[in-house]
């Protein structure tokens, strides 16, 4: 477990900037806590005396009225941190935070984290980049609040598809973490009846399907077109590309592919890692996805999106053990949805979103 925790700390860009030894030390000094879905992790007015480090899972940031109505302003996926703005300014929590799925969380006391930033300027720069990116997503969300319900609901469903989507036997996308109509209404601050009316219309036009009382996404292209003006206003992952915000609505999807670790013996087996335009895989910084395994080199391979055509490629970075795809050693090759490739004794599966 200690080795797994150290690896999870290294997935966070802020702590990775301080090196593997610091991440291993933090995994020992600040043990993780497991929380079940829907656990409230912080409420407005709670003291922000510790930095919350999200190691696995997803949380929702929301506001709540005195009568219990809620509006979700952000979905944050690990690796991430929260409570940092309040901590650095000695404020109480300004927002509510709850777990969406099962998560693992670590807490760093305020004085320890401030000392860490003072000692590691590169980590401070990474934290500044994180805060700026998170603010940009919030700024897009502020504009989205004035948008039609259909746009906001399409964006919510697509965000959940990116976080929890999986294909069923019919080729539709369903959510591994179910999203009910009341939850959709709560997330968007509207009535359940309003949500039901939109979903009913989408069922009739073929955008959605119902599978065992659950929503299944059928026509992703139509949903993306609907959501285009507000895309990027809800989901935030540390290190994600913000190109879609610069284009004022987004001509390209963010994190349109992902890798899943499928080696049973690896401590991170089953974990998924988003790919925006490029992802370097290796055992050490500056690789963005750091994996410990036999024959995995410091920078082992590169997954990247071609500038034309939009396809993803895998490129071996001149390693001794090589990168293997479909049983053959490759220097560079196009990846197809569902492809598995191997680095030393570690297998990863590529999936398009």
In a domain? residue 141: no
Which CATH number covers residue 95? 2.60.120.10
Strands 278-282 and 289-290: parallel
Per-residue pLDDT, 273: 80
85-94 residue pLDDT tens: 999 999 999 9
Residue 136 lies in a domain: no
Question: Pick from 307, 306, 299: which is nearest to 323 by CA?
Answer: 299
What is the predicted pLDDT for the residue at 4? 64
Provide the domain limits for residue 238. 149-246
> Is the domain of 286 the same as that of 264?
yes
Are 102 and 25 contained in the same domain? yes
pLDDT for the residue numbered 344: 85
pLDDT per position as a tens digit, 220-243: 878 888 888 888 788 888 877 776
Q: Is residue 133 part of a domain?
A: no
Share of the chain above pLDDT 90, in %: 47
Higher pLDDT, 54 or 172: 54
Is residue 271 predicted with pLDDT exceeding 80? no
pLDDT band for position 71 (cuts 50, 70, 90) = confident
7-11, 69-73, 107-111, 150-154: segment of lowest average pLDDT: 69-73
Q: How confident is the model at residue 309 (pLDDT cuts 50, 70, 90)?
A: low
- Output the average pLDDT for the chain: 86
181-198 pLDDT, tens digit each: 988 988 888 889 999 999
Q: What b-and-e string marks burial along 112-139, b requiring 16 or more CB atoms within 10 Å of the CB?
A: ebeebbeebeebeebbeebeebbeebee
On whether both 13 and 94 belong to a single domain, the answer is: yes
Q: Who contacts 243 (Cβ-Cβ below 8 Å, separation ≥6)? A: 250, 252, 254, 277
Residue 291 is predicted with a pLDDT of 83
Q: What is the pLDDT of residue 305?
A: 85
User: Is pLDDT above 90 for 292?
Assistant: no
Q: Are residues 242 and 268 in the same domain?
A: no
Per residue in 88-128, pLDDT (tens digit) is 999 999 999 999 999 999 999 999 999 999 999 999 999 99
**Residue 127 within a domain:** no
Beta strands in 110-213 (DSSP E): 165-167, 173-175, 208-211
Residue 282 maps to a domain:
yes
For 202, the token pair is 């989408």
Q: Domain boundary at 182, 214, 246, which?
A: 246
- Rounded Cα distance between 63 and 294, Å, is 46
- Domain shared by 114 and 55, yes or no: yes
Question: Would 144 be classed as within a structural domain?
Answer: no
Are residue 8 and residue 114 in the same domain, yes or no? yes
Q: Is residue 305 part of a domain?
A: yes
Are 237 and 294 in the same domain? Answer: no
Q: At residue 158, does pLDDT exceed 80?
A: yes
The verdict on 11 and 102 lying in the same domain is: yes
> What are the structure tokens assigned to 97, written together?
């935070």
Residue 124 lies in a domain: no
**Same-domain pairing of 197 and 279:** no
**Residue 254: is its pLDDT beyond 70?**
no
How far apart, in Å, are the Cα atoms of 176 and each of 82, 137, 156, 179, 247? 24, 25, 15, 9, 31
User: 321: domain CATH number?
Assistant: 2.60.200.20
In the block, which residue shows the tokens 């696995």? 56
Instruction: State pLDDT tens for residues 205-223.
Output: 888 987 666 788 888 878 8
Domain count, the chain: 3
41-59: average pLDDT: 95
Least confident of 160-164, 215-219, 296-300, 308-312: 308-312
pLDDT category at 166 given cuts 50, 70, 90 is: confident
Question: Of 193, 216, 246, which residue constitutes the final position of a domain?
Answer: 246
* Residue 249 pLDDT level (bands cut at 50, 70, 90): very low
- Is the confidence at residue 253, as pLDDT, over 50? no
Are 217 and 301 members of one domain? no
* Domain endpoint, select from 198, 214, 246: 246
**Is the pLDDT score of 246 beyond 80?**
no
Q: For residue 322, give both structure tokens.
A: 């090589």
Q: Is pLDDT above 60 for 23?
A: yes
Q: Whole-angstrom Cα distance, residue 75 to residue 63? A: 13
What CATH number is given to the structural domain containing 214?
1.10.10.10
153/155 Cα distance (integer angstroms): 5
pLDDT score of 255 more than 60 = no
Residues 296 and 216 reside in one and the same domain: no
Answer yes or no: do 104 and 157 share one domain.
Answer: no
The band of 307, judged by pLDDT with boundaries at 50, 70 and 90, is low
């Amino acid at each position: 477990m200690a080795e797994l925790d150290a690896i999870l700390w290294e997935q966070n860009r802020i702590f990775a900037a301080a090196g593997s030894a610091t991440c291993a030390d933090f995994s020992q000094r600040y043990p993780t806590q497991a929380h079940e879905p829907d656990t409230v992790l912080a409420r407005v007015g709670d003291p922000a005396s510790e930095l919350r480090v999200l190691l696995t899972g997803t949380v929702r940031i929301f506001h709540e009225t005195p009568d219990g109505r809620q509006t979700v302003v952000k979905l944050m996926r690990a690796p991430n941190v929260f409570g940092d703005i309040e901590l650095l300014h000695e404020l109480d929590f300004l927002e509510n935070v709850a777990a969406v799925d099962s998560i693992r969380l670590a807490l760093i006391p305020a004085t320890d984290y401030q000392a860490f930033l003072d000692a590691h300027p590169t980590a401070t720069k990474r934290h500044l980049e994180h805060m700026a990116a998170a603010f940009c997503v919030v700024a897009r969300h502020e504009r989205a609040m004035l948008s039609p319900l259909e746009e906001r609901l399409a964006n919510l469903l697509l965000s959940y598809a990116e976080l929890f989507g999986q294909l069923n036997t019919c080729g539709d996308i369903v959510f591994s973490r179910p999203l009910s109509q009341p939850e959709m209404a709560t997330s968007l601050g509207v009535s359940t009846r309003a949500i039901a009316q939109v979903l009913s219309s989408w069922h009739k036009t073929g955008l959605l399907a119902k599978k065992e009382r659950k929503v299944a996404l059928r026509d992703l292209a139509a949903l993306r077109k609907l959501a285009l003006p507000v895309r990027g206003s809800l989901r935030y992952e540390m290190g994600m590309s913000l190109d879609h915000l610069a284009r004022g609505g987004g001509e390209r999807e963010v994190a349109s592919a992902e890798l899943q670790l499928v080696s049973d013996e690896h401590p991170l087996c089953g974990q998924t890692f988003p790919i925006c335009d490029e992802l370097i895989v290796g055992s050490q910084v500056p690789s963005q996805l750091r994996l410990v395994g036999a024959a995995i080199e410091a920078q082992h391979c590169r997954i990247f999106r071609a500038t034309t055509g939009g396809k993803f490629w895998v490129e071996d970075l001149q390693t001794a053990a090589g990168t293997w795809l479909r049983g053959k050693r490759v220097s560079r090759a196009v990846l197809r949805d569902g492809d598995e490739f191997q680095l030393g004794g570690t297998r990863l599966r590529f999936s398009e979103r």
